[in-house]
């Protein structure tokens, strides 16, 4: 059995301004699928945010907004599935069980969010847990976790490794997370912690992802305390 | 029992550039719901077209493209549902039977497409048939059916009434349909014909719709041969 | 991968007066499944018509009548599945996606109608499109498309090839379709046209079907304009 | 809350040779629905038997045959639903829970079989149990339970009341059940016994049913031992 | 194709006081899966009885009690699935069709009850029928069928073979079934009879089951009359 | 419209050693349902823990363990539904949407967990958000939130009000939460925070709950910063 890798792909990738990018990702996934089995979790991105803002202005409740984000992330997942043609499971699964069954069948699986109350990051962590992935790559809009916001502070330094507890402390005091809100959240960390999932936060960029899959030290690795 | 009215709403309404428009439609629907029970079928609009074009360029098959359009039309339906708050059935139904049950419960129902191979117009006609609607208003981007393309020909004349057979002949020779592709299609006409559904093609505009509901002679009415 | 063939089988085959006929079809399908993968769409036939007439006399709406036809076509599909024993997908799929998944698994697939508003012909065309079938064989009660009703006019001539546009014109003026109502309908033609599906209308008869699968010029072929 | 009555209607009623009979039943059910809430369980009848025999000759397994019978009984239920128009729950429920919910909503409910391994009689008894029906009327092709087959023995006597244990003994030695195989089965008796359901076996005939609903002593009543 | 064996496992096995027992069963099932394909039906056992009694004291109806038993039997099935790890179908199927599909895929299948009104014994018999199992082993808390209750009568004798009709007679007069209520019931016998399923009632014990699979004469075999 | 109250009920209540307790709760809920609409979320309790430990010892993954807990919490919910008889929605809903629909119908709703990765506390908070509950009562095994573990420190003091941020800090350093692990978790707090849900942690005890519903200052209230 090939080792399984969960990749959360930032919604920005699915922005539709660049029709070539998903084809590049498709080619890349087919290539790496010779050495591992990738499971992709698509984010919602810009269009999700537009729908959510529109609905929020009408007074929709938070879990309905979550559902809109899930809907769009599944549409994004479909776009990548079409680009992958016969190499992909033919639709985005909608339950953990369906994902596991799809993964067991050996094909590349692309999915979106699953349930209100879970970010796509959290969903990706649950999937990594369910299919016993050997690594969870959280491909975001930033290079990794910084001590200070790199957009504001010239001397901001990226961590190559960060203890889970330290990252959690940064999240609890949200304003101090360098690089943005969606990088990681508390539920995601809880799941990573309970199942000791090997996790790396890195730039959503094909070359960077390729290095990470080969075990290279890109982005920021989350580390656990030794018992 | 209030008379039931099916309104197909052009996807353009859900364009998200104008956050006020759906609130206006919500207010309008609540107002008319005192005298009739409206069922709204949302079109896919611009975002549907973007997703479909993107997927087509990846080689997705036609029924998958239909599904993308359905997905987006349901998201659009949700936006109107949120604007309607407690006055609407809480989600877009996904089968004719669910639509009928929802309509029987008396609330305003907003839905999108249902199945691949059916346009949202055709879906709206099937719904009108299923719930025995007293009228089907096809609210589009044009004022009605013209003899010539009004954008090209200054003297183009709008029909106030058109025989179903004549409209069908225009559709068969598609290039001659003044005003564009999506105004009506052959399957939709077939359903309108088999159940003799009273149908009007008109501008997607609140005032125009209001006139039509009051029985005013706006847009183009489709007429049937006398037996 | 074997090439895929969609066969719409006239409901008459499932008439139940002749218990041997489905066994003959089963043997035939197993035989041809060595060189291609057949997908069968069963029609409703006589029993469907009896149920539909009964329900219509009670005032049931048209889409409920469509559903009755779908129900019976699925029962017919089951009869052929039982005759095929372990060679067939074990039940009639109910969505395009399930059909595609079943086809991908390599077995013979037998299905009935799918959704109200679609004839079984139209459903067969949608399936041919979805699974990228190499040919769609519409096996009916007549030999092909005639210029005049062969039951009435001695000199009626069967077309060996007919342009899609010409066939559509005949359908629009229904009374002129030689051989009967159900041979082909507008929605089916629309799907055949949009995906350029290679289509042949022929007699529902094992020998005729076998010739068609081998590429022989039986029945009437639908041809498309060259661009 | 009106008292609830479960009526198992022999499949013979749905024979389709007599288009008037279901309209008569519909009128009757609407009439009695003023004093009680009827739940109808449709049998499969002659068409079910034809499909089952056909499938059995192809070697289908017994539970698949049960499913065919269930499918046809649901089609029969639909015919009665259409005849009842807006007075009936709009489709045949497919689970006990859905039946209970439908009954709670106050309308007339018409259903068919539910699961392989259960006769429609057994299903009717399970429904009577689930909705706490005040009586279960098993409307069959015979007048009631006889001591000898009335078709063969001139002096055959119908029981007006029969102890459940005695009926069970007759069933165990099947050949001795006067009037036919399908009148009642062991599983049905077990359910009647465990929930002490008031049960009457009688002729499927509107006048007879009306008398029974008014409490008249028609057909054969099943009686339980006093504790 | 390996021969298929259905084993109904007494709920007592899943008692949770002995954490080792399911691991032993898992090892045993993996071992025998080299020579046959086992399908396991888990009983509800003690915890099912506690939930059922509690609910009965609140006045729940009998089919709701059946459902509680089904729920617990599925939880028990899951425990065995986890012990079997990747050798088992990943969850308890919930319909006969899903069971057949799962069995066709070749893995070990573990399930619980399916529908109210069916005991887990009856469900196991329906499954044996559906998948054309070569034998149905009903693994219970007793060694087999006795002429007298072995707990009360010293000289009670176990049948090595018993005619189905005789067993049915014993069941009809329930008090005379030596060894307890749940050993076999009338519906189960009906299914065994209609499909002539080779059935053995034996002790739920790994060594005993192993002997039975090898064809050894353990427990009590049910025999049918020669035609 | 009555105001809606979400009560998370500790799984301990469903322990089955005390058959009277659920009847007392049912009576209490019927009584308060005259002034508000209660939605109950049942915990898993002791039996959930036993199943989870058993499955963990077989190597089941964490989300499968979550599912076992959800299964048991639904069984517990059913027991309370039976005790409530016709006053309750007839089964535990399984999605947020079904819960909202059930609540809209006006009956008492009892549910269990919904999705892996969410505690029953988190689920209760999501429900409170979805149905716009006026208060969320988290009924636990302790009186409220303490500064020190009251079982260990004589002088431990219960907070009558605690700032959400302070509680979150206590949770991040789990060992310092007086009274135990399951009282509240980070995801639950995130939901409470994003929708500003009025929340109280209190003893699972009928008299205490009654006081809280009347607005009395029992247990610990979570307070938000003023903007």
Per-chain mean pLDDT for chain F: 89
Does the pLDDT value for residue C91 go beyond 80? Answer: yes
Q: For residue B109, which of B121, B97, B119, B117 has the smallest C-alpha distance?
A: B97
pLDDT band of residue F138 (cuts 50, 70, 90) is very high
At residue D227, the pLDDT reads: 56
Residue to substitute from E63, E66, E169, interface D, most D β-carbons within 10 A = E63
At residue A144, the pLDDT reads: 93
pLDDT digits (tens, 9 = 90+) for C161-174: 999 989 888 877 66
Nearest-CA residue of chain E relative to D116? E126
CATH class of D3-223: alpha beta
Domain E4-223 listed as CATH 3.40.1160.10: yes
* CB < 8 Å to E187, chain D: 117, 186-187, 190
Closest chain C C-alpha to A170 CA, distance in angstroms? 45
Residue to substitute from D116, D136, D192, interface E, most E β-carbons within 10 A = D116
Q: Do C41 and C170 contact (CB within 8 A), yes or no?
A: no
Does the pLDDT value for residue E82 go beyond 80? Answer: yes
pLDDT digits (tens, 9 = 90+) for D162-204: 999 898 888 776 644 444 445 678 778 888 988 899 999 999 9
Mean pLDDT computed over F180-188: 67
Pairing of strands D3-9, D135-140: parallel
Mean pLDDT computed over A57-63: 89
Q: How far apart are CA F35 and CA F16, in angstroms?
A: 29
DSSP B136: E
Beta-bridged to residue D139, according to DSSP, are D9, D202
Q: For residue B22, which of B68, B88, B97, B115 has the smallest C-alpha distance?
A: B88
- Strands (E) in F152-225, as ranges, are 161-163, 199-203, 220-223
Q: Do F112 and F42 contact (CB within 8 A), yes or no?
A: yes
The terminus-to-terminus CA distance of chain F in angstroms comes to 29
At residue F183, the pLDDT reads: 62
Does the pLDDT value for residue B197 go beyond 90? Answer: yes
Q: Measured on CA atoms in the order C147, C151, C153, C154, is the torsion positive or negative?
A: positive
**What dihedral do alpha carbons B152, B157, B158, B163 form, nearest 10°?**
-110
pLDDT band of residue C175 (cuts 50, 70, 90) is very low
Q: Subunits with at least 3 CB pairs below 8 A relative to chain F?
A: A, B, D, E
Does the pLDDT value for residue A198 go beyond 90? Answer: yes
Mean pLDDT computed over E147-164: 89
The string of DSSP letters for chain D reads -PEEEEEEEPGGGG-SS-TTHHHHHHHHHHHHTTTEEEEEEE--HHHHHHHHHHHHHTT--HHHHHHHHHHHHHHHHHHHHHHHGGGB-SS---SHHHHHHHHHTTSBEEE---STT--HHHHHHHHHHHTT-SEEEEEESSSS-BSS-TTT-TT--B-SEEEHHHHHHHHHTGGG-BT-GGG--HHHHHHHHHTT--EEEEES-HHHHHHHHTT---SEEEE----
pLDDT digits (tens, 9 = 90+) for F26-52: 999 999 999 999 999 999 998 999 999
pLDDT band of residue F227 (cuts 50, 70, 90) is low
Take residue E77 and report the two structure tokens written for it.
């099935």
Label each residue of C58-125 as H, E or C: CCCCHHHHHHHHHHHHHHHHHHHHHHHHHHECCCCCCCHHHHHHHHHCCCEEEECCCCCCCCHHHHHH
Closest chain D C-alpha to F23 CA, distance in angstroms? 21
Q: Subunits with at least 3 CB pairs below 8 A relative to chain E?
A: A, C, D, F
At residue A192, the pLDDT reads: 93
* CB < 8 Å to D106, chain B: none
The string of DSSP letters for A26-72 reads HHHHHHHTTTEEEEEEE--HHHHHHHHHHHHHTT--HHHHHHHHHHH
At residue F118, the pLDDT reads: 85
pLDDT band of residue A151 (cuts 50, 70, 90) is confident
At residue A187, the pLDDT reads: 79
- Which of the two residues, B176 and B194, has the higher pLDDT score? B194
Q: How far apart are CA C143 and CA C201, in angstroms?
A: 8
Residue C101, classified by CB atoms within 10 Å of its CB into exposed (0-12), middle (13-18) or buried (19+), is middle
Does the pLDDT value for residue B184 go beyond 90? Answer: no
Q: pTM of whole model > 0.90?
A: no
Q: How far apart are CA C84 and CA C100, in angstroms?
A: 19
Mean pLDDT computed over A113-125: 91
Q: How far apart are CA A70 and CA A194, in angstroms?
A: 25
Pairing of strands E220-223, E161-163: parallel
Take residue D93 and report the two structure tokens written for it.
């429920």
Nearest-CA residue of chain C relative to E98? C90
* CB < 8 Å to C104, chain A: 90
Mean pLDDT computed over C91-107: 92
pLDDT digits (tens, 9 = 90+) for D97-137: 899 989 988 999 999 999 988 889 999 999 999 999 999 99
Q: How far apart are CA E108 and CA F221, in angstroms?
A: 51
* CB < 8 Å to F69, chain A: none
Residue carrying the six token digits 């969609």: C6
pLDDT band of residue E176 (cuts 50, 70, 90) is very low
At residue F170, the pLDDT reads: 82
- Strands (E) in F43-165, as ranges, are 109-111, 135-140, 161-163
Q: How far apart are CA A135 and CA A192, in angstroms?
A: 11
Distances (CA, A) of F8 to A114, F42, F188, F205: 24, 6, 12, 12
Residues making up chain F, counted from first to last:
227
Residue to substitute from E75, E83, E88, E92, interface F, most F β-carbons within 10 A = E75
Beta-bridged to residue F4, according to DSSP, are F37
At residue D27, the pLDDT reads: 97
At residue E183, the pLDDT reads: 61
Q: Indicate the domain borders of chain D.
A: 3-223
Q: Where are the alpha helices (DSSP H) in chain E?
A: 21-32, 45-57, 62-84, 96-104, 120-130, 164-172, 186-194, 206-213
Q: How far apart are CA C153 and CA C123, in angstroms?
A: 32
At residue E158, the pLDDT reads: 94
> Do chains C and F touch by CB distance (3+ pairs < 8 Å)?
no
- Could F71 and E68 be called an inter-chain contact, meaning their C-beta atoms sit closer than 8 Å? no
Q: Do A115 and A145 contact (CB within 8 A), yes or no?
A: no
Distances (CA, A) of E200 to B112, E5, E122, E134: 56, 11, 14, 11
* CB < 8 Å to F97, chain B: 90-91
Nearest-CA residue of chain C relative to D26? C58
Q: Do B213 and B5 contact (CB within 8 A), yes or no?
A: yes
Q: How far apart are CA E103 and CA E110, in angstroms?
A: 10
Query: Which C-chain residues 9-48 have CB contacts (< 8 A) with chain B?
Result: none
Does the model's ipTM exceed the 0.95 cut?
no
> Do chains D and A touch by CB distance (3+ pairs < 8 Å)?
no
Q: For residue A178, which of A191, A196, A166 has the smallest C-alpha distance?
A: A166
Q: Do D146 and D178 contact (CB within 8 A), yes or no?
A: yes
Per-chain mean pLDDT for chain B: 89
Distance of CA C65 to the CA centre of its chain: 19
* CB < 8 Å to D90, chain B: 97, 100-101, 104
At residue B178, the pLDDT reads: 40
* CB < 8 Å to B91, chain F: 97
Q: For residue A41, which of A67, A1, A5, A90 has the smallest C-alpha distance?
A: A5
Mean pLDDT computed over D77-89: 94
DSSP C183: G
Q: How far apart are CA C160 and CA F15, in angstroms?
A: 77
- Which of the two residues, A150 and A146, has the higher pLDDT score? A146
Does the pLDDT value for residue F182 go beyond 60? Answer: no
Q: Subunits with at least 3 CB pairs below 8 A relative to chain A?
A: B, C, E, F
Take residue C115 and report the two structure tokens written for it.
């959704």
* CB < 8 Å to A90, chain C: 97, 100-101, 104
pLDDT band of residue B151 (cuts 50, 70, 90) is confident
The terminus-to-terminus CA distance of chain C in angstroms comes to 30
Take residue D76 and report the two structure tokens written for it.
């029969």
pLDDT digits (tens, 9 = 90+) for D20-41: 899 999 999 999 999 999 999 9
Closest chain F C-alpha to D37 CA, distance in angstroms? 17
Q: Subunits with at least 3 CB pairs below 8 A relative to chain C?
A: A, B, D, E
At residue A174, the pLDDT reads: 62
Does the pLDDT value for residue A214 go beyond 60? Answer: yes
Query: Which E-chain residues 86-115 have CB contacts (< 8 A) with chain A?
Result: 90-91
Residue E57, classified by CB atoms within 10 Å of its CB into exposed (0-12), middle (13-18) or buried (19+), is middle
pLDDT band of residue F174 (cuts 50, 70, 90) is low
At residue A227, the pLDDT reads: 56
At residue E118, the pLDDT reads: 85
């Amino acid at each position: 059995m090939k080792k399984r890798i969960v990749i959360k792909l930032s919604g920005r990738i699915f922005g539709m301004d660049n029709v070539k990018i998903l084809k590049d990702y498709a080619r890349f996934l087919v290539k790496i699928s010779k050495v591992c089995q990738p499971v992709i979790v698509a984010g919602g991105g810009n269009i999700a945010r537009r729908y959510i803002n529109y609905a929020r202005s009408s007074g929709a409740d938070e879990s309905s907004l979550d559902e809109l984000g899930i809907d769009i992330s599944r549409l994004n997942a479909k776009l990548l599935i079409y680009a992958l043609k016969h190499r992909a499971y033919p639709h985005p699964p909608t339950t953990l069980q369906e994902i596991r069954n799809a993964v067991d069948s050996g094909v590349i699986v692309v999915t979106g969010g699953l349930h209100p109350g879970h970010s796509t990051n959290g969903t990706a962590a649950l999937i990594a847990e369910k299919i016993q992935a050997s690594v969870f790559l959280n491909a975001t809009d930033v290079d990794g976790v910084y001590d200070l916001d790199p957009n504001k502070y010239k001397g901001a330094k990226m961590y190559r490794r960060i203890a889970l507890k330290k990252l959690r402390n940064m999240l609890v005091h949200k304003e101090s997370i360098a690089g943005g809100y969606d990088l990681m959240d508390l539920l995601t960390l809880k799941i990573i912690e309970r199942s000791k999932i090997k996790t790396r936060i890195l730039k959503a960029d094909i070359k960077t992802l390729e290095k990470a899959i080969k075990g290279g030290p890109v982005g920021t690795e989350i580390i656990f305390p030794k018992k």
